[in-house]
Amino acid sequence: MHIQWYPGHMTKAMRMMHESVKQVDCVIYVLDCRAVASCINPKFDEMIASKPVLYILSKCDLVEKEDAKKWTAYFSSQGKNFVVADNISGRQRTAIIDKLRQINRPMLEKYAAKGANKSIRAMVVGVPNTGKSTLINSLCASKRAVTGDRPGVTRGKQWVSLAEGIELLDTPGAVPPAFEDQQKALHLAFIGSIKEDVLYLDDLAIEIIKYCREKNQAAFCERYRLDSIDDDNVRVFDDIAKNRGYLLGKKGYDYDRTAKAIVYDFKNQKLGKIMLDFPPEKA
């Protein structure tokens, strides 16, 4: 399965971000805990190289705590500023605001020495569907940014202000212009960062079956009442369709409905908490 997706609005979004980064003091880089490495966009890294960065490891509630700790240990070892967040409860709000003040301390002290108060202006970036707008809403304690569970919801830049003297710029999600690593592209498809309209869902479902055969077989079999995941992917489709009653009368099994069910179940944790990317092992 080969994945390539870079719609025109992302080119426009990247141009806008290149201009906007000149107007901000720092960057909030949102990474989905399920696929941290895959969510890193090299084009973002080039663009924000001169700015202090706060990484938000979002959706931590969608992975096992022990798996999330592997990434926190890695980010700590790299000296990166980060906060682990679930994006829903808002419990991390204070920690995020404190971190923003910490990474901007030199700038704030410079202005304070002149007797001036300076707001912190932060641009929020990330690939689609990592939870940028949801994060902003939790920081605002109100729904100000448009949110959604599909890529492409935020199309233009949106400024929102916090009472603590922080201004946040929400930006559209953008993937790399080309996926040199198709494994990362596949992981982004798994977590919903690539629009389903450009994917062949039956192929994506087969990739999920392959993944679960190796990494998550017990939960997969329990979900679909299978004894095991057969090496024959078509037969697995047949068994799931039969067990779920996805039939087309005398025409056989409804493969489209079966594929949609597998993709939906994976993205919505019906197959358990799954982390796709793990940090590099120490040499």
- Total-model pTM: 0.89
Residue 205 has pLDDT above 70, yes or no: yes
Q: Could you tell me where in the chain the CATH 1.10.1580.10 domains are found? A: 200-267
Q: Pick the more confident residue, 74 or 146.
A: 74
pLDDT at 156: 53
Residue 152 has pLDDT above 80, yes or no: no
Instruction: For residue 283, count CB atoms less than 10 angstroms from its CB and return exposed for 0-12, middle for 13-18, buried for 19 or more.
Output: exposed
- State the Cα–Cα distance between residues 125 and 49, nearest whole angstrom: 13
- State the Cα–Cα distance between residues 88 and 143, nearest whole angstrom: 12
Instruction: For residue 6, count CB atoms less than 10 angstroms from its CB and return exposed for 0-12, middle for 13-18, buried for 19 or more.
Output: middle
- Nearest 5°: phi and psi at 125? -125, 160
Angle, helices 217-224/201-215, rounded to nearest 10 degrees: 120
pLDDT at 21: 93
pLDDT at 146: 44
- State the Cα–Cα distance between residues 213 and 62, nearest whole angstrom: 20
Q: Could you tell me where in the chain the CATH 3.40.50.300 domains are found? A: 8-170
pLDDT at 180: 86
In tens, the pLDDT along 92-112 reads 899 999 999 999 999 999 999
Average confidence (pLDDT) over 18-27: 94
Q: Are 197 and 184 in contact (CB under 8 A)?
A: no
pLDDT at 95: 94
Q: Which helix (H) or strand (E) holds 32?
A: strand 26-32
Report, at the CATH architecture level, how domain 8-170 is classified. 3-Layer(aba) Sandwich (3.40)
pLDDT at 33: 96
Instruction: For residue 22, count CB atoms less than 10 angstroms from its CB and return exposed for 0-12, middle for 13-18, buried for 19 or more.
Output: exposed
Residue 41 has pLDDT above 70, yes or no: yes
Average confidence (pLDDT) over 23-43: 96
Question: Domain 200-267 maps to which CATH number in 1.10.1580.10, 1.20.1630.10, 3.40.30.10, 3.40.1010.10?
Answer: 1.10.1580.10
Residue 129 has pLDDT above 60, yes or no: yes
Distances (CA, A) of 231 to 211, 237, 242: 12, 11, 18
DSSP state of 9: H
Residue 157 has pLDDT above 80, yes or no: no
Average confidence (pLDDT) over 160-183: 90
Per-residue pLDDT band at 144 (split at 50, 70, 90): low
pLDDT at 26: 97
- State the Cα–Cα distance between residues 14 and 2, nearest whole angstrom: 24
pLDDT at 148: 44
Q: What is the 3-state secondary structure (H, E, C) of 170-206?
A: ECCCCCCCCCCCHHHHHHHHHCCCCCHHHCCHHHHHH
pLDDT at 274: 95
pLDDT at 250: 80
Q: Pick the more confident residue, 281 or 88.
A: 281
pLDDT at 74: 96
Mean pLDDT of the chain: 89
In tens, the pLDDT along 47-76 reads 999 999 999 999 999 999 999 999 999 999
